Amino acid sequence: VTKNPHLFERAREIAKILQHLYPDPPVPLNHLDNFTLLVAVMLSAQTTDGKVNDVTKELFKQCGTPKKLAAISFEELLAIVRSVGLAPTKSRNLIKMAQMLLDNFDGKVPSTMEELVQLPGVGRKTASVILCQAFGHPSMPVDTHIHRLTVRWGLAPANATVQHVEGVLSELFSRDTWGAMHLQMIYFGREWCQARRHEASDCPICSWVCSKQKGKKNTDSLRPHSLEAISKMSSPKKASKKIILYSERLKALAEFEDAFVN
């Protein structure tokens, strides 16, 4: 990457657009503290954030602490989270995770990668999200949206592994922006750069990035749309009702905080 200055220029323009569209990106998953964020992230594998937020409304009322979650029976927990993907496995892991927090970590979510991945059901991706969003540790977790966008924008090859994409993004973008960038790319992937039926010409980023990649003539003058022009663009229709867009998340977060916090 360091040998290609054009990628750094492209990354700078992409960062400007993402910051303009999503200036203060909230975590898409409802949570009350580090523990409930960990629970929500563990539930989110192969499940939409919208479905997880539906499930955690009841879950956090009944099992909002490690002690309460460790004490619930498998059958009771499964009944609450049954609608999420891989519910039986996740239920077992959640109970074991809560018990390990009590036994080994004084009931608190640990703040290092080495300790987090010891917890049942917690892999490096989940641990990276927790380190980034709960503790503010610089990291760049890569999910399906982020991987797709990185490849589509020509920042990494099509056959890039998750580890390769993480390394590329960590090199191209400033360390102090990784936490926000992670969320901004997720929202952008859901709203503008969806996996299917994607029209590059209608995308604030792909409309100029993809044209340069395809080797077309006379593309040197292609520049990103102005931020003012981007503000007037209309994003595509949602791919699924359960996908949470940025504007929807801001509204839902306020409602969640009114219900649980205030």
Instruction: Provide the CB-side half-sphere exposure for 215 (13 A, CA).
Output: 0
Q: Quick count: other Cβ atoms within 10 Å of Cβ 261?
A: 7
**Mean pLDDT (the chain, rounded):** 91
Structure tokens at 140: 């760049």
Residue 83 and residue 117: Cα distance in Å, rounded?
25
pLDDT band for position 256 (cuts 50, 70, 90): confident
- 131: amino acid identity, one letter: L
pLDDT band for position 261 (cuts 50, 70, 90): low
Active site residues: 125, 143
Average pLDDT over residues 206-225: 65
Query: Residue length, the chain?
Result: 262
* Largest Cα–Cα separation, the chain: 66
Please provide residue 225's backbone torsions phi and psi, each rounded to the nearest 5 degrees.
Answer: -60, 155
Residue 46 and residue 86: Cα distance in Å, rounded?
8
Res 196: pLDDT: 87
Instruction: Provide the CB-side half-sphere exposure for 4 (13 A, CA).
Output: 11
Residue 77 and residue 93: Cα distance in Å, rounded?
11
Average pLDDT over residues 240-254: 86
Lowest mean pLDDT among 37-41, 56-60, 145-149, 213-217: 213-217
> Per DSSP, which regions of the chain are E strands?
none
Lowest mean pLDDT among 30-39, 71-80, 239-248: 239-248
- pTM metric for this prediction: 0.88
Average pLDDT over residues 115-125: 96
Res 221: pLDDT: 44
Task: Decide if pLDDT at 140 tops 50.
Answer: yes
Closest C-alpha among 101, 102, 170 to residue 137: 170
